[in-house]
């Protein structure tokens, strides 16, 4: 312990500037975080000499970026203080015991990164009105997740000799991730079935930096350690390339059995507009929109279109497959239609647009049951929503939203439903009211079941926005004090897959002329 | 008993062999000078001994411990100073010594004060602001302060002015009784003044290794003067190096000098000669002759 403290004290003396900067940024982060959910609004600082105004949100965003950078910098500096790379280091021929050296570095990171963060989190929880003692496990969980991020930085710092070298290594990592992202987009279905190999990847993500750090501290085998990191990157690439995505999706979303009632009935609708068959010369891709009528969604059910895949078979043996594409479009019992979009290469579209093709559309559906329905009237000022924490009404004078701040986690599943016609919002002069029975919903859900979500701040905000579904899009809407709403907690019931077969289908009839960006809706 | 022993030590950097079967034996209590030209493998050998990196093959033992196991506490008995070692330049001299103190149970504060005074080291100056010579003195002070059993110095005198060299050597010699010293250098003049043993490393191999006194004793520059024109022998005895002649004189270097035997060999080769002189050689002259001859004189 004596040696650990000796090294620790030396590091504190050497890196006090880095520590001060990192803690100052953390303090700034806490200040801006409190302001973000305390609704202090925009604060402008005017320079007397000029007309520059600094939006506090801009500064807050800057602090959000600089804080992790400052942590990374502290870690790199403190680890490279006793560099593990090279053969000229002073310390390697001194009686340093590697376990004690490593312990000193861990102690430094715990004291000057984790502890200030923990204190800040406790402060933020208390300021936000939550009792920190009720969230000890969650706070420690957050620390563990932050520590995992720091572990990756520490592993890179352990195999590089200087901040510049670390920066270059980080650049390589970023380029690798961009490359993986690009590759993932090129591999059909890979972006939808993101859970493939997750357990393996997580295990490797924790094990690799740990092994690298231990190998470096115990033996300073830099070449082997770097090789290990490269091997880890190669394994991730291999997982991306070799995963049988469609099989996994089929397993996750089993096909509806013959005796089972489909959670939703879909029927092809005629195309909205007559198409002239021409594709603008500057377009490289063509978007196709297939509208379906929706029926059969039970009153207490929510059917979420999680993903879709389109297979087209054209005369002459042409076979085209879109692969599984992610979506998140929820259908309620009152919904009447849905449009499924996909893009084709212009060349292919022009070749088959006038042909009679067979289109097979597979839909991955997540069925939830809307339960625990409670009537609630939005009160004046701050109020408590179960699972969502402290909430209030925010936003512009028209269409205000409900914003909630919760401790460590956003609500796992909370649906806010209201009849637009019953809004208590005053609207503006001349604005009409919606017809009774026109419903708007805002659903927040996530599948993460850990005691805390990843992030620096323990305060998570959720905004329940209003979507004006009224036939009159300019009708008064929004949550205001006095607006009656229904709160419920939809629960996952099952995942399933349905397949639609469209014979004698003419793609040209369904060409979307607006080409509005996203491939799916 | 050996303080350092290596057996057939080989170190390759990719395809280049820096050490090519090094067999080194440094007796306990010796002041062993490992000499040789630049690139001979001296620093590589020392870094293997200090476990800064491992050998490709072969083995090395330092104070009875396999070099690959030298780490942590083992360095309580070893003082290592190298010309290319990166010191914590942000530290002040006094702070460095204070920082190192808890690492060594045998740290001698009185000795530190003595060395600080002897080396004229300023406690409150940052290492990064010191001259090269002062930095070396600070490094040496920090390596001597705990009475190490073995002191390993890698090119400690390179680029230092004569005054600083003398101070460093003086500091070392005062500690020589309690320690074994291994010092590498390509500057032979100062080695001669304090080394007890010398090893000559060339192209990763130890050409010879022996006590310095014996080495100096067995090398002589020989001048043979004839009455008439001189001539070079067709076959010279083993140990004769760099034979050359001019007018009535033949000169060569004898690497196995023994007065009577050498005289007998000269008469055997040349017959009657007018005069023979034997001149002692400095270490520098010996190594120059060795390097030029490029043959194994051992």
Residues A438 and A295 in one domain: no
Q: Among all residues of chain B, which has the CA nearest to that of A99?
A: B72
Q: Is the pTM of this model over 0.95?
A: no
Collect all residues of chain B within an 8 Å Cβ-Cβ radius of residue A6: 99, 102-103
CB A267 within 8 A of CB A492: no
CA A246 vs CA A189, A305, A307, B154: distances in Å: 7, 17, 12, 63
A73 occurs within a structural domain = yes
Residue A149 within any structural domain of the chain: no
Compute how many other C-beta atoms are within 10 angstroms of the C-beta atom of residue A132.
17
Residues A192 and A226 in one domain: yes
Domain endpoint, select from A252, A283, A300: A252
The pLDDT value recorded for residue A514 is 63
Looking at the fold, whether A277 and A393 belong to one and the same domain comes out as: no
- The CATH fold assigned to B2-214 is Rossmann fold (3.40.50)
- A&B contacts, CB < 8 Å: 50
**Residue B297 DSSP SS3:** coil
Burial class (CB in 10 A: 0-12, 13-18, 19+), A503: exposed
B244: helix, strand or coil: strand
Helices (H), A193-345: 198-219, 222-242, 245-252
Q: How far apart are CA B217 and CA B214, in angstroms?
A: 5
Is the domain of A339 the same as that of A474? no
* DSSP-assigned letters across all residues of A52-94: -B--HHHHHHHHHHHHHHHHHHHHHHHHHTT-SSSS-BSGGGT
DSSP state of A95: T
Instruction: With H, G, I as helix, E, B as strand and everything else as coil, classify residue A401.
Output: strand
Q: Does the residue A233 lie in any domain? A: yes
Burial status of residue A519 (CB atoms within 10 A of its CB: 0-12, 13-18, 19 or more): middle
Q: Among all residues of chain B, which has the CA nearest to that of A95?
A: B72
User: In A, what residues contact B, Cβ < 8 A?
Assistant: 2-3, 6, 10, 13-14, 87-90, 92-98
Cα separation of B297 and B295, whole Å? 6
Contact assignment for A94 to B75 by CB distance below 8 Å: yes
Looking at the fold, whether A484 and A400 belong to one and the same domain comes out as yes
Tokens 């997540």, residue located: A366
A435 and A310, same domain (yes or no): no
Residues of B in contact with A2 (CB under 8 A): 102
Spatial distance between the Cα atoms of A479 and A424, rounded to a whole number of angstroms:
7
Indicate whether A380 and A347 sit together in one domain.
no
Beta-bridge mates of residue B200? B35, B208
Is the CB of A94 less than 8 angstroms away from the CB of B100? Answer: yes
Are A90 and B88 inside 8 Å of each other by CB?
yes
Q: Do B103 and A3 touch (CB under 8 A)?
A: yes
Look at B85 and A90 and tell me if their CB atoms are within 8 Å.
yes
Average pLDDT, chain B: 90
Considering the domain architecture, whether residues A186 and A299 belong to the same structural domain is answered as no
A14 → closest Cβ in B86, B90, B104 = B90
- Provide, as residue numbers in chain A, all residues whose Cβ is less than 8 Å from the Cβ of B51: 92
Closest CB to B84: pick one of A6, A88, A98: A88
Question: Of the candidates A117, A125, A120, A164, which has an alpha carbon nearest to the alpha carbon of residue A143?
Answer: A117
Look at residue A186 and give its three-state secondary structure. helix
Are A484 and A501 in a shared domain? no
Number of domains in chain A: 4
Place of tokens 């022996």: B210
| Chain A residues within an 8 Å CB radius of B84 | 88
Inter-chain contact A93–B50, Cβ cutoff 8 Å? yes
| Per-state percent for chain A, helix, strand, coil, to nearest 5 | 40, 25, 35
Tokens of A221: 């085998």
Residues B52, A87: C-beta atoms closer than 8 Å: yes
CATH number for the domain spanning A272: value is: 2.60.40
- Classified as helix, coil or strand, B283 is helix
Question: What is the rounded distance in angstroms from the CA atom of residue A248 to the CA atom of residue A184?
Answer: 16
Cβ contact B47–A87 (<8 Å): yes
Residue of B nearest to A14 (CA): B90
Shortest distance between the Cα of B239 and any Cα of chain A, in A, equals: 40
SS3 of A246, please? helix
Same domain, A105 and A10: yes
- Residues A420 and A508 grouped into a single domain: no
State the nearest Cα–Cα gap between B59 and chain A, in angstroms.
18
Q: CB of A97 within 8 A of CB of A3? A: yes
Last residue of a domain, one of A252, A276, A299: A252
Task: Assess contact for A505 and A361: CB atoms under 8 A.
Answer: no
Alpha helices of A253-304 — where are they, by DSSP H? none
Q: Which of B53, B84, B103 has its CB closest to that of A94?
A: B103
Integer Cα distance of A110 and B53 in angstroms = 31
> What residues contact B5, with CB distance under 8 A and at least 6 apart?
B24, B25, B26, B60, B61
3-state secondary structure at position B298 = coil
Exposure string of A389-423, with b = 16+ CB inside 10 Å and e = fewer, is bbbbbebeebbbbbbbbbbbbbbebbbbbbbbbeb
Contact B72 A96 (CB under 8 A): yes
Tokens describing residue A491: 């629960």
Query: Which runs of consecutive H residues, i.e. helices, occur in A431-473?
Result: none
How many Å lie between the alpha carbon of B70 and the closest alpha carbon of chain A? 9
The answer as to whether A520 is a domain residue is: no
Strand, coil or helix: A300: coil
In-domain check, residue A139: no
Domain termination residue (choose one: A230, A252, A274): A252
Are the Cβ atoms of A95 and B86 closer than 8 angstroms? no
- Which residue of A lies nearest to B47 if distances are taken between CA atoms? A87
Identify all chain A residues contacting B72, using CB atoms and an 8 Å cutoff. 95-98
In a domain, A180, yes or no: yes
Residue of B nearest to A8 (CA): B99
- pLDDT tens for chain B, 298 residues: list them: 899 999 999 999 988 999 999 999 999 999 999 998 888 899 999 999 999 999 999 999 999 999 999 999 999 999 999 988 999 999 999 999 999 999 999 999 999 999 999 889 999 999 999 998 899 999 999 999 999 999 999 988 887 888 888 888 888 888 778 899 999 987 777 788 889 999 989 889 998 899 999 999 999 999 999 988 888 888 889 889 999 998 899 999 999 999 999 999 999 998 889 999 999 998 888 888 887 776 444 4
Asked if the structure places residue A521 within a domain, the reply is no
* Closest Cβ opposite residue A2 in set B82, B86, B102: B102
For residues A209, A211, A215, A217, the Cα torsion angle rounded to the nearest 10 degrees is: 60
pLDDT for A39:
61
The single residue listed with the structure tokens 């969980």 is A141
Instruction: Assess whether A451 and A501 both reside in one domain.
Output: no
Give Cα A94 distance to the centre of its chain.
47
CA-based nearest distance A34→chain B, Å: 39
| Residue A517 forms part of a structural domain | no
- A95/B47 CB distance under 8 A: no
User: Range of A390's domain?
Assistant: 374-489
For residue A86, give the chain B residue with the closest CA.
B52
Nearest residue, CB atoms, A89 vs list B78, B86, B102: B86
Q: b/e per residue, A36-60, with b = 16+ CB within 10 A?
A: bbeeeeeeeeeeeeeeeeeebeeeb
A459 near A405, Cβ under 8 Å?
Answer: yes
**B52 and A93: CB-CB below 8 Å?**
yes
Token pair 């594709």 in the structure block, residue = A279
pLDDT tens per residue across all 521 residues of chain A: 889 999 999 999 999 999 999 999 999 999 999 988 876 443 333 344 444 445 677 888 899 999 999 999 999 999 999 999 999 999 999 999 999 999 999 999 999 999 999 999 999 999 999 999 999 999 999 999 999 999 999 999 999 999 999 999 999 999 999 999 999 888 888 877 655 567 888 899 999 999 999 999 999 999 999 999 999 999 999 988 888 888 888 888 999 887 888 899 999 988 876 666 666 677 788 888 899 999 999 988 999 999 999 999 988 888 999 889 888 889 998 888 898 988 888 888 888 888 889 999 999 999 999 999 999 999 988 999 888 899 988 876 567 889 999 999 999 899 999 998 888 888 777 788 888 888 888 999 887 778 999 999 999 999 998 776 666 777 888 888 999 999 999 999 999 999 999 998 888 888 886 654 333 33
């Amino acid at each position: 312990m004596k040696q650990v403290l000796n090294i620790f004290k030396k590091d504190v003396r050497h890196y006090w500037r880095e520590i001060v900067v990192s803690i100052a940024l953390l303090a700034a982060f806490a200040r801006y975080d409190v302001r973000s959910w305390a609704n202090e609004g925009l604060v402008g600082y005017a320079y007397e000499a000029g007309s520059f105004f600094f939006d506090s949100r801009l500064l807050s965003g800057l602090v959000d970026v600089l804080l992790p950078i400052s942590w990374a910098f502290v870690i790199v500096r403190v680890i490279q203080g006793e560099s593990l790379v090279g053969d000229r280091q002073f310390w390697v021929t001194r009686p340093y015991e590697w376990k004690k050296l490593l312990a000193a570095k861990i102690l430094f990171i715990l004291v000057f990164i984790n502890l200030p963060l923990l204190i800040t989190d406790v402060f933020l929880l208390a300021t936000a009105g939550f009792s920190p003692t009720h969230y000890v496990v969650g706070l420690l969980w957050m620390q563990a997740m932050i520590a995992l991020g720091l572990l990756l930085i520490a592993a890179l710092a352990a195999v590089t000799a200087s901040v510049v070298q670390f920066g270059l290594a980080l650049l390589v990592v970023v380029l690798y991730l961009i490359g993986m992202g690009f590759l993932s987009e090129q591999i059909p279905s890979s972006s939808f079935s993101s859970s493939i190999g997750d357990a393996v990847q997580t295990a490797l993500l924790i094990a690799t930096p740990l092994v690298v750090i231990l190998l470096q501290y115990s033996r300073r085998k830099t070449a082997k350690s770097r090789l290990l990191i490269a091997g880890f990157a190669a394994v991730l690439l291999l997982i991306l390339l070799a995963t049988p995505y469609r099989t996994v999706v089929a397993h996750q979303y089993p096909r509806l059995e013959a005796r089972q009632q489909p959670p939703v009935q879909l029927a092809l609708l005629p195309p909205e507009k007559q198409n002239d068959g021409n594709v603008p010369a500057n377009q490289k891709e063509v978007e196709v929109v297939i509208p379906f009528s929706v029926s059969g969604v039970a009153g207490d059910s929510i059917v979420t279109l999680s993903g879709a895949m389109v297979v087209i078979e054209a005369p002459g043996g042409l076979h085209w497959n879109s692969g599984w594409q992610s979506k998140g479009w929820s259908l309620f019992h009152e919904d009447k239609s849905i449009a499924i979009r996909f893009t084709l290469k212009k060349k292919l579209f022009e070749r088959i647009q006038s042909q009679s093709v067979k289109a097979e559309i597979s839909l991955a559906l997540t069925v939830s049951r809307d339960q625990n329905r409670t009537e609630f009237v939005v009160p004046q000022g701050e109020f408590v929503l179960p699972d969502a924490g402290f909430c209030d009404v925010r936003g512009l004078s028209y269409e205000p939203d409900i914003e909630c701040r919760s401790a460590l986690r956003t609500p796992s599943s909370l649906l806010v439903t209201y009849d637009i016609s019953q809004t208590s919002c005053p609207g503006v002069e001349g604005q009409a009211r919606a017809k009774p029975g026109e419903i708007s919903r805002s659903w927040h859900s996530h599948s993460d079941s850990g005691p805390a979500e990843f992030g620096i701040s323990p305060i998570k905000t959720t905004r329940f926005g209003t979507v004006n579904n009224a036939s009159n899009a300019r009708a008064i809407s929004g949550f205001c004090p006095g607006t009656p709403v229904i709160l419920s907690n939809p629960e996952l019931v099952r995942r399933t897959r349905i397949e639609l077969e469209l014979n004698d289908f003419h793609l040209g009839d369904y060409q979307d002329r607006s080409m509005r960006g996203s491939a799916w809706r | 008993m050996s303080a350092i022993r290596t057996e057939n030590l080989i170190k390759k950097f990719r395809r280049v062999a820096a050490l090519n079967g090094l067999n080194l034996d440094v007796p306990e209590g010796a002041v062993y000078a490992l000499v040789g030209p630049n690139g001979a493998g001296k620093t590589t050998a020392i870094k293997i001994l200090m476990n800064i990196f491992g050998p490709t093959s072969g083995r090395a033992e330092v104070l009875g411990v396999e070099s690959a196991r030298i780490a942590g506490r083992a360095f309580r008995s070893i003082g290592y100073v190298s010309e290319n070692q990166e010191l914590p330049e942000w530290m002040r001299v006094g702070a460095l010594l204070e920082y190192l103190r808890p690492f060594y149970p045998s740290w001698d504060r009185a000795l530190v004060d003595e060395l600080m005074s002897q080396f004229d080291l300023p406690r409150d100056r940052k290492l990064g602001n010191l001259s090269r010579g002062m930095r070396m003195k600070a490094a040496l002070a920090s390596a001597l302060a705990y009475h190490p059993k073995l002191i390993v110095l890698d090119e400690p005198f390179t680029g230092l002015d004569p005054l600083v060299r003398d101070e460093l050597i003086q500091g070392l010699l005062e500690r020589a009784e309690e320690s074994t010293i291994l010092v590498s250098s390509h500057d032979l003049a100062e080695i001669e003044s304090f080394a007890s043993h010398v090893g000559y490393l060339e192209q990763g191999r130890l050409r010879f290794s022996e006590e310095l006194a014996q080495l100096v004793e067995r090398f002589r520059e020989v001048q043979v003067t004839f009455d008439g024109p001189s001539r070079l022998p067709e076959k010279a005895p083993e140990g004769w190096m760099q034979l050359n002649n001019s007018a009535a004189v033949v000169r060569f270097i004898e690497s196995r000098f023994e007065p009577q035997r050498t005289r007998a060999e000269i008469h055997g080769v040349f017959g009657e000669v007018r005069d023979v002189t034997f001149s002692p050689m400095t270490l520098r002259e010996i190594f120059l002759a060795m390097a030029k001859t490029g043959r194994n004189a051992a």
